[in-house]
Amino acid sequence: MGYAKVLSVGLAGVAGHVVEVEADLAPGLPAVLISGLPDTALHEARDRVRAAIVNSGQKWPNRRITLNLLPATLPKYGSAFDLALAVAVLAGSGELPPVALDATVILGELGLDGAVRPVRGTLPMVAAAARAGYARVVVPAGNAAEAAVIPGVRVHAVDTLHRLVAHVRDGTPLLAPPEPAPVAVPPGPDLLDVAGQPLGRRAIEIAAAGGHHLALLGPPGAGKTMLAERLPSILPELDDEAALEVTALHSIAGLLPPGGGLLRRPPFQAPHHTATVPALVGGGSGLARPGAVSLAHRGVLFLDEAPEYGKGALEALRQPLESGVVRVARTRGATEYPARTQLVLAANPCPCAKPSGDADCECTPLARRRYLGRLSGPLLDRVDVQVRLPPVRAAELLRTDAPHESSAAVAARVVEARRAAADRWTPTGHRVNADVPGPHLRRPPWHLPARVTRELRRRLDTGSLSARGYDRVLRVSWTIADLDGRDRPDEHDIAEAIQLRTGEGT
């Protein structure tokens, strides 16, 4: 009887796979069966597709309809298959010529009225179609701009099922994607705005150059948030591969800014301390939404008032920070999203959030230790740079005469330092100093002469520095040398690196 096959794409993490959508129409009791590991939303597709077809003025075939999505092994989530299912049904029943949309990948959710609605993840889905060799895609008009980012693909946009049917029947043109306009990205916060705080400025420069996680400890008003927000402005712009990954993750989250284009600036995410675990690491029904840790991929994840986050939240962040990948549990298996992010923790020295030594602060030393202790173990262990920022006096903040550097000037040094590190570590598979395991730095050819590490070893012997702390100081000292254009750290670099670990948890 009637059979038709059209193409769509399913997502597994950020990777898309071309999916064949088959419709088989057989005589028998009218019914619709969907097979091929569909989730609930896909079952609901049956009702949407039928209503959309009828409300677009087309005939719903009163036959036994089997819809199948291949490969069956690929879990399929969400509503992006609706439009392909509708086309398969119409082609199978002879309403549409069977070859019209051959080799065309079709994406889109259907409203009951036949409107084609935007779907999350269009960009990585179109990228998958292009990689699989398909040069033509039909996407919802609302997603056309992001689809057009992928080179080598002709993008056709549709706003209704009716428009697609008319196009196939009599060649009515589909909608063209919007011209890729150079999107004016508003400049982010700049270091020019930060007066004073030389220690804080130095700390974020070193964190940026070495890819080190950073903890900023200090009283309210010390400028912790100001500094953290400016870290992306001194990180290198995202290269093509990174920009595609980051833009794909934001596409899956449905958070792309209108106007299209790849996201080139390292992202900055600052989830509130009341954020749920799914909001931090990803989750939700249907196509899993990436959490803050993935939306901060290749950028910065800022946890302000870090000790206020729930124990579960901090615990949930540990695995992604360790592996650079987050696994979001699904009913069938798990979805993996990249999560290689630079962590910035900010914390007040004590729970009352008054400057330490302030007359109003009544916190006991124990209460203070406990407060920061919430961060130790899981997270603080991974933080190479931990600084205590002094309160900034109003007079210092308001000074306009003192020259301070712009983000661009600092970023130029960061790029050079990163290049030096990349050249050194490429043979070992590492890119930034923060990635290099401690033992590696303690062995030839990278171990430092005894004269340079004397103070470090003294602290290790007296117990004022742990073995992990020792390695973190070594890593940071390499970054300091890279920033200064020298090929090895000396005792002064070690001394500064030790200074950058005066925070709790050494």
Q: Minimum distance from CB of 424 to Zn ion (Å)?
A: 44
Closer residue to Zn ion, CB minimum distance, 37 or 352: 352
Q: Which stretch binds Zn ion (CB under 5 A): 253-261, 275-283, 306-314, 363-371?
A: 363-371
Closer residue to Zn ion, CB minimum distance, 11 or 363: 363
Q: Minimum distance from CB of 115 to Zn ion (Å)?
A: 57
Question: Which residues have CB under 8 Å from 184's CB, separation 6+?
Answer: none
Question: Which residues have CB under 8 Å from 290's CB, separation 6+?
Answer: 249, 252, 253, 282, 326, 337
By the rule CB under 5 A, 226 interacts with Zn ion = no
Nearest alpha-carbon partner for 122 in 5, 289, 249:
249
How is 245-276 classified by DSSP, letter by letter? HHHHHHHHTT-PPTT-----SPPEE---TT--
By the rule CB under 5 A, 217 interacts with Zn ion = no
Within residues 119-138, the interface with Zn ion by CB under 5 A covers: none
Site string for Zn ion, 438-467 (x = CB under 5 A): ------------------------------
Closer residue to Zn ion, CB minimum distance, 360 or 401: 360
Secondary structure in 3-state letters for 190-242: CHHHCCCCHHHHHHHHHHHHHCCCEEEECCCCCCHHHHHHHCHHHCCCCCHHH
Secondary structure in 3-state letters for 99-159: CCCCCEEECCEECCCCEEECCCCHHHHHHHHHHCCCCEEEEEHHHHHHHCCCCCCEEEEEC
Q: Minimum distance from CB of 359 to Zn ion (Å)?
A: 11
What are the phi and psi torsion angles at 163 (to 5°)? -65, -40
Are 85 and 342 within 8 A, CB to CB? no
Closer residue to Zn ion, CB minimum distance, 7 or 361: 361
Query: Out of 125, 138, 306, 361, which residue is the one contacting Zn ion (CB under 5 A)?
Result: 361
Q: Minimum distance from CB of 487 to Zn ion (Å)?
A: 45
Within residues 341-360, the interface with Zn ion by CB under 5 A covers: 350, 352, 354
Question: From CA 294, how far away is CA 269, in angstroms rounded?
Answer: 9
**Beta strands 325-329 and 334-338: pairing type?**
antiparallel
By the rule CB under 5 A, 363 interacts with Zn ion = yes
Q: Minimum distance from CB of 349 to Zn ion (Å)?
A: 8
By the rule CB under 5 A, 306 interacts with Zn ion = no
Closer residue to Zn ion, CB minimum distance, 358 or 496: 358
Q: Minimum distance from CB of 273 to Zn ion (Å)?
A: 18
Q: Minimum distance from CB of 229 to Zn ion (Å)?
A: 25
What is the binding site for Zn ion (CB under 5 A)? 350, 352, 354, 361, 363
